[in-house]
Chain A
Amino acid sequence: MNNLTVPPLIAFLFFPGGLFLMFGGMAYEWIDRKLVARFQNRIGPRWFQPLADVVKLLSKEEIIPQGVDRILFYLLPVLALSAALASALYVPIAGFAPAYSFKGDLVVTLYMLSVLTLCLGLAGANTPNRFALIGATRTLTQLFSYEAPFLLALLGPAIVAGTWTIGEINFYTQLHPWQMILTQPLGFVVALVGLMGKLELPPFDAPEAETEIVAGALTEYSGRGLALFRIGKNVELLIGLTLVSAFYLGGVGNPLLFVVKTVGLLFVMAVLQSLFARLRIDQTVGLWWRIGALLALLNLLVVALFRALA
């Protein structure tokens, strides 16, 4: 049940680095949109929709608004995407062993995943647009609310497995496929919902609520910058799903298992998305700190107790 390995150069350029992640992310975005459309009794987008969106955005004019820091304006989308791509190197994408791993890469990966949100917030704060400013504030507020519970939820399996290396945790969960989901259902729920908060999917889409604040932090971005942020989000969706299924659903041992588990998770997320209406930003924060963080802490406490007793 060991994971397969890939040579470094291929890992960096094609798989699981750059190309595969981008196209995989788009495929997952399509699955998500299609599922939500089906739940709303619509036909939904065609399979190449995300690709067409990205290519179109890349070929569009990029307007740089007055009063922004030009370097930051150019740099932030690139930084966001590259952080998302870099974090994939430590994650068992598609059931292959992580391209690199070291002790404690779990923490590094999680922080690299947050860089995207941070860039989003900075991008909004960088533009003088008032909608973008409100969007940036909300993005960063939300970052502070879901990040801690999400991290705590992912620490549960790490403590049980006795290692903070993602590859080893994945290996451990493959040996004990049912252990995590049965012993830590609380952690699983918090991790899944935390992922939705991370990706700003409904009901946690207050930062980009188009009915209130136009498009949130990305209001002033057009063309290339918007496309890069979108790809970054898709990549993060893929990585997040991989992480949660590797930690809680018995690991991702081979590509087939990977697809089954991540798409299953995505299905649950799509159901939640179409089920709930958008939360206000204060409700989001309240939910995470009053319920999410407590549940994750409880989960962690139980795990630690068992470990101390065993």
Chain B
Amino acid sequence: METSLPTPWQQALDKLRDWARINSPWAIHYNSGSCNGCDIEILATLTPRYDIERFGIKLQGSPRHADVLICTGPVTRQSRDRLLRIYEQMPDPKFVVAVGSCGISGGAFRGCYNIVGDISAVIPVNVYIPGCPPRPEAIIYGVVQLLETLKKPVA
């Protein structure tokens, strides 16, 4: 590891990279065991009415193309491996957004025999969006919060 200060050239490049990252978050959506309520709200978020292409957000089919994993629901024992695999398949840098109270704590399913736990029990989560289910506005707000954190330099 080099410890020298970044050159102006490097700083400019870093700025450019951060700008691009903030303005083009491509998302992938995974349901790790939710009741589908949250997923329907996410799909509503993608409709022309809310038009998240304004922010450059695009739903991608392939984890390899995605930057943001939008994850709903508690993690069931069956979907744990799939969730992990999807997370591993995403190229760095990657971020996780947990949608719904189930993703935060297990919600209505907390303590069920078939539940591993909330999403942070399996993969690191960057942003939580509460609600059962959260409204599309809340989901957009959460993703924007995630993008705001990218603007600040990580110490």
Contacts and interface: CB of A to CB of B under 8 A. Distances in A.
A59 B17 contact: yes
A211 B21 CA distance: 25
Interface in B1-55: 16-17, 19-21, 23-24, 26, 48, 51, 53-54
A290 interface: no
Interface in A28-86: 33, 37, 40-46, 48-49, 51-56, 59-63
Given A44-B54, A53-B24, A61-B91, A221 B64 contact: yes
Interface string B114-142: 00000000000000000000000000000
A45 B56 contact: yes
A223 B56 contact: no
Nearest to A210: B61
A218 to B, nearest CB: 8
B51 A52 contact: no
A59 B21 CA distance: 9
Given A52-B19, A59-B21, A222-B91, A41 B48 contact: yes
A62 B89 CA distance: 11
Contact of B92 (A48, A60, A226): A60
A161 interface: no
Contact of A40 (B48, B60, B61): B48
Given A42-B51, A45-B53, A219 B20 contact: no
Interface string A204-239: 000000110011001111110010000000000000
A226 B65 contact: yes
A56 B60 contact: no
A215 B21 contact: no
B17 A55 contact: yes
A63 B90 CA distance: 9
Given A45-B56, A48-B23, A60-B91, A215 B51 contact: no
B44 to A, nearest CB: 14
Interface in B47-88: 48, 51, 53-54, 56, 60-62, 64-65, 67
B111 interface: no
B35 to A, nearest CB: 23
A49 B64 contact: no
A59 B48 CA distance: 29
Contacts of B153: none
B53 A42 contact: yes
B92 A61 contact: yes
B56 A46 contact: yes
Contacts of A211: 61
B65 A215 contact: yes
A56 B54 contact: no
A49 B56 contact: yes
Nearest to B58: A53
A223 B27 CA distance: 15
B21 to A, nearest CB: 5
Contacts of A226: 64-65
B61 A33 contact: no
B91 A215 contact: no
A86 to B, nearest CB: 27
A222 B65 contact: yes
B18 to A, nearest CB: 9
A56 B20 CA distance: 5
A56 B24 contact: yes
Interface of B: 16-17, 19-21, 23-24, 26, 48, 51, 53-54, 56, 60-62, 64-65, 67, 89, 91-93
26 contacts: A33-B53, A42-B53, A43-B53, A44-B53, A44-B54, A45-B53, A46-B56, A48-B23, A49-B23, A53-B24, A53-B56, A55-B16, A55-B19, A56-B20, A56-B21, A56-B23, A59-B21, A62-B91, A63-B89, A214-B61, A215-B62, A215-B64, A222-B64, A222-B65, A222-B91, A226-B65
- Enumerate the 8 nearest inter-chain pairs by beta-carbon distance, A residue then B residue, closest first: A55-B20, A52-B23, A61-B91, A210-B61, A56-B20, A214-B61, A42-B51, A222-B64
